[in-house]
Amino acid sequence: MPSSLTGKRVLVTGATGSFGKLFIDRLLNQTQVSSVVAFSRDELKQFEMQAEFLSPKLEFVLGDVRDFSRILQVTKDVDVVIHAAAMKQIPASESNPMEAIKTNVLGAENIVNAAIANQVEKVVALSTDKAANPANLYGATKLCSDKLMIAGNYLSNKSTTSFAVVRYGNVLGSRGSVIPFFQKCAASGKIPITDFRMTRFWLTLNQGVSLVLTAIESMRGGEIFVPKIPSFKVTDVARIVAPGIPTYEIGIRPGEKLHEVMITEDDSHYTRDYGDYYVILSPQLINSAEYEESSNRVKEGFTYRSDTNELWFDDESFIKLLRDNKILLEE
């Protein structure tokens, strides 16, 4: 566990989401943080979460990342911010574009400005594969958020506040995961697949939390951390979670990609390989001696895509992952 969190006060935005709850659980049980602030705008979810978490170190605060004055208040005396709050549903973002912009872009700007004003030590923001070469408004807003976070390092001159981003793909077991949807559709006797060729990266919530903890420990400011995780065809996911149930193709929806991309060819010029994960550096960091000593540059023209990924699940490894995380029950 990150020693850099010992004695620190940590604020988590979007704290009542799937990631936020597990991240806070890890903080309270596996680190020596002094306190944790759970920040979100849903009072019912906070009420329900309070019944699960009885730690005296945990505080619940209502508010919205769109509200700068509130963000300025809650970041006072905070050492580390984990920014997980976002509007994430692609169709909702497409039909309500300004709402997505207010939350994902202006909300990120508020976090950056408040963190600098209150001299927060570190900020780590959660991103998504959809921010790389975005094909929909959600991805575009998250790309803007990533850019704002990285630019925060120049605004603060990294004298007091450092900013980094963690980017990853589909999270097994999170709200909105395709697996519960497939299991629900199985009851009707058929499962819709947008395109039979579709591939995705897959990781667990625990892996996502671990990468964020790694980022907190190793960040210098200006990095986008990207995990090395296996790919798997969506049709194979359906076959495993709903065996024997036929699938049918309905066509790719607006803004949906056939394959996921987490590092584009343009990003490859600034990307370094750390063994278990990649780091996309801001251009000002790419020639830094400390990065030269601790990692390797990727090859020119490198891309990190779910269809050309070197790591793939087979049936056995995917089933084991699902069972280990209690997403699929033992037979």
Distance CA(38)–CA(16), nearest Å, equals 8
The arrangement of strands across the sheet holding 231-233 comes to 170-172, 199-204, 231-233
Encoded tokens for 185: 């559709």
Q: Which of 195, 325, 179, 192 minimizes the C-alpha distance to 241?
A: 179
Q: Which of 57, 60, 61 minimizes the C-alpha distance to 30?
A: 57
Tell me which DSSP letter residue 258 carries.
Answer: S
Distance CA(116)–CA(48), nearest Å, equals 32
What is the four-CA torsion angle of 276, 151, 65, 255, rounded to 10 degrees? Answer: -70
Intra-chain end-to-end CA distance of the chain, in Å:
34
Tell me which DSSP letter residue 299 carries.
Answer: P
H helical segments located in the chain: 18-30, 43-52, 68-74, 90-95, 97-100, 107-117, 137-156, 178-186, 205-218, 234-241, 289-294, 315-324
Catalytic: which of 8, 88, 122, 130? 130
Q: Is 57 a catalytic residue?
A: no
Q: Which of 194, 267, 205 minimizes the C-alpha distance to 237?
A: 194
What are the catalytic residues? 130
